Amino acid sequence: MTGLVVAMDGPSGSGKSSASRGVARALGLRYLDTGAMYRAVTWWMLQRGVDLADPEAIAARALQPVLTMGTDPDAPAVAVDGVDVAGPIRTAEVTAAVSAVSAVPEVRRRLVAEQREIIGAGDIVVEGRDIGTVVAPDAPVKIFLTASADARALRRTAELTGTTVEAQRAAMARRDTLDSTRKTDPLAKAADAVELDSTALNLEEVIAEILRVIKEKE
């Protein structure tokens, strides 16, 4: 890697996306949402009727969808086979299915390789669940962003369509368990990551804290 790489990890609803885009915008860096890549593959699988209860069926088609990721923090585009899926990948249906797809080793190997290629040039903020531990373990700045269960459910409900706070609280508890216990690249805090609890902070305060950490690492 060359240039600055900021690895932003944490569970869903912790505020990673908004904070990552804000930091990238403030520093003139690129931005990559790795979670959107897993969502895009999940959307593709659902569209084609792949049995998501069958890891072998998912693995067999893991290399087929062609992803195109934009890295502009003001317009983080994502397309599959040339189709803009920035909206469709945020539905409750995709959210409910993405953990099953992202747990398949063949999917993770394929996407981690693509993520590393994008990150390679540096000058980027990358958000996900395994950036500091797997995708970019040598990143000079690692943040692990957390928040209370209620705060996370409220934030995720605002991001998604066709859902409720109660449904998201239950769904996120389930996904936390799946993400942190999967055999391949589980959600985990890197040993050298700075943990930041965003529960009582607004977006501007979270961004300011992350910028402070980056400045201290210089």
The binding site consists of 10-18
Residue stretches of the annotated binding site for ATP: 10-18
Segment holding 80, helix H or strand E: strand 78-80
Question: What number of CA atoms fall less than 13 Å from residue 108's CA on the CB side?
Answer: 22
Q: Do residues 126 and 6 lie in contact, with contact meaning Cβ atoms separated by under 8 Å?
A: yes
**The sheet that has 83-84: what strands, in order across it?**
67-69, 78-80, 83-84
Task: Calculate the alpha carbon distances from 138 to 116, 131, 132, 133, 216 in Å.
Answer: 11, 10, 8, 9, 17
Q: What is the distance between the alpha carbons of residues 80 and 65, in angstroms, rounded to a whole number?
A: 6
